[in-house]
Chains A and B, each alone.
Chain A
Amino acid sequence: MSDVQKQAEKATVVLRRQTWEVEAGITARELLKKLNLNPQSYLVTRDGELISEDTIIRPGDKIRLVAVISGG
């Protein structure tokens, strides 16, 4: 498989100033677990829309994670 094809299998995940490339085909919940993040503490959005924990991450998805814990 070429590098271009490999790239297409992945999704981009952004949390604050961090970015990851992850394999697509897993659920939003599995994605968080994979990144060692607690699903209770983050929301997952795709193209600005909130997605539920069982939503499958597709190749090329731009995922933004929203941390929900605040200091208060």
Chain B
Amino acid sequence: MPMRCRKCRQKAVINMRQHRLALCKEHYVEWFQHQTERTIKKYKMFRKDEPVLVAVSGGKDSLALWDVLLALGYQADGFYLRLGIDEGIRYSEESYAKIKAFVEQHPGVKLHVVDVKETYGESIPEVARRVQRGKGKPCSVCGLIKRHEMNRVAYELGYPVLATGHNLDDEVAVLFSNTLNWQVGYLARQHPVLPGREGFARKVKPFCRFYERETAAYALLRGIDYMYEECPFSVGANTIYYKELLNKLEEERPGAKLHFYLSFLRAKEKERLFANWQKSQAELHACEQCGQPTSAPGRCAFCRLWPEDVLSKPEEAFVPLTLVAEPEAVK
């Protein structure tokens, strides 16, 4: 007896053991979009009348998120940061090509692009080689620059909401790592929604309840051509190791990942886990260079990456390039 779709009894294309739910292609797409909307409402992420800036990397999660938000009728525009990572596989160029193809297929959508090298004079690998923080791997510098530029662009273009494609596996890998090391500060902050402050956008993760195989299945079923190659610097990353470990657990105990994450959120909400810590650490300062919130007075970690003359360039040097898909580009 083949696995049947719960809705229509046709042959299922996916079975989600943690939900005891098998669905056909059509009903899976419908279910996935509906669940995203439920998550957005459940955590009060944003409303239909609020413009959302979606951080896209060219990978499956962010392009799937953009696709779902557009399908649901949200005002979702894209933001892409050109990192300048080549490493022999033209990683950044290929990622950008996927995003441009996505934009062409969605007439009327808007994509804002910032090129790190054009804006600040050095690509991610180049900054990483120059500064202490980048010694070994550029991932820490890259994460710092991504966060700063997302905040900056959302602020300057007036987006109240910044959405990222983080899925449950991403969240659980972070949660697991922070629990192993009892990183209380990070644990206190981990949530599907980070409130905005002083004009800076609220950060939301509408895919936080989907397993990674579900976002991949959605991208596949919707025919989204995404960047399948990993960032060359992520090889051997801790995140991948933890994800594999947690999938071993999930294979033995269906639902273990979902339970780990949701019970963590529940403990924070109902039992006020880490609530005191959050209050005592809530005080942030505005960076004296860029104005973004930072934990210590003075210049933030991003501004400390660059020589003075780079950051004192005329304002127009930092404006993103905006692409709008032509109506005639419809396929």
Complex Cα spacing A38 to B221, Å: 21
**Cβ-based interface call for B248 (8 A):** yes
Residues 235 to 256 of chain B near chain A (Cβ within 8 Å): 235, 237, 239-240, 243-244, 247-248, 250-251
Contact of A38 among B166, B170, B215, B244 (CB under 8 A): B244
Residues 18 to 50 of chain A near chain B (Cβ within 8 Å): 38-43, 45, 49-50
Of the candidates A40, A43, A54, the one having the most CB atoms from chain B within 10 angstroms of its own CB is A40
Task: Give chain B residues whose Cβ lies under 8 Å from the Cβ of A71.
Answer: 230-231, 234-235, 237, 239-240
Smallest CB–CB gap between A72 and chain B, Å? 5
Q: Is the CB of A52 within 8 A of B166?
A: no
Q: Is the CB of B2 within 8 A of A41?
A: no
Complex Cα spacing A69 to B235, Å: 12
Q: A45-B220, A55-B2 known; A40 and B251 CB under 8 Å?
A: yes
Can you list 8 A-B contacts with CB-CB less than 8 angstroms, sorted by A residue number? A38-B247, A40-B251, A45-B220, A52-B14, A53-B15, A69-B244, A71-B239, A72-B239
Of the candidates B25, B61, B212, the one having the most CB atoms from chain A within 10 angstroms of its own CB is B212
CB-defined interface of B22-53 with A at 8 Å, one 1/0 digit per residue?
10010000000000000000000000000000
- Chain A: how many interface residues by the 8 Å CB criterion? 20
The dominant DSSP class at the A interface is loop
Q: Is the CB of B15 within 8 A of A69?
A: no
Q: A52-B11, A52-B12, A52-B14 known; A68 and B216 CB under 8 Å?
A: yes
Q: Give the nearest-CB partner of B236 in chain A.
A: A71
**Cβ-based interface call for A51 (8 A):** yes
Q: Is the CB of B15 within 8 A of A50?
A: no
**Cβ-based interface call for B194 (8 A):** no
Q: Give the nearest-CB partner of B166 in chain A.
A: A72
Q: Give the nearest-CB partner of B238 in chain A.
A: A71
Complex Cα spacing A71 to B169, Å: 11
The size bracket of the interface on B is: 35 or more
Q: A38-B251, A54-B3 known; A69 and B240 CB under 8 Å?
A: yes
Residues in A lying within 8 Å of B, measured CB to CB: 38-43, 45, 49-55, 66, 68-72
Contact of B248 among A38, A43, A49, A50 (CB under 8 A): A38
Q: Is the CB of A54 within 8 A of B13?
A: no
Task: Give chain B residues whose Cβ lies under 8 Å from the Cβ of A51.
Answer: 13
Contact of B15 among A45, A52, A70 (CB under 8 A): A52
Q: Is the CB of A69 within 8 A of B11?
A: no
**Cβ-based interface call for B125 (8 A):** no
**Cβ-based interface call for B59 (8 A):** yes
Complex Cα spacing A51 to B11, Å: 9
Q: Is the CB of A40 within 8 A of B213?
A: yes
**Cβ-based interface call for B217 (8 A):** yes
Complex Cα spacing A69 to B3, Å: 25
Task: Give chain B residues whose Cβ lies under 8 Å from the Cβ of A69.
Answer: 169, 212, 240, 243-244, 247
For the complex of A and B, list the 6 residue pairs with the smallest distance between their C-beta atoms, beginning with the closest. A71-B234, A40-B247, A68-B216, A68-B213, A50-B13, A52-B12
Residues 150 to 181 of chain B near chain A (Cβ within 8 Å): 166, 169-170
CB-defined interface of B213-228 with A at 8 Å, one 1/0 digit per residue?
1011100110000001
Q: Is the CB of B166 within 8 A of A43?
A: no
**Cβ-based interface call for B299 (8 A):** no
Task: Give chain A residues whose Cβ lies under 8 Å from the Cβ of B13.
Answer: 49-52
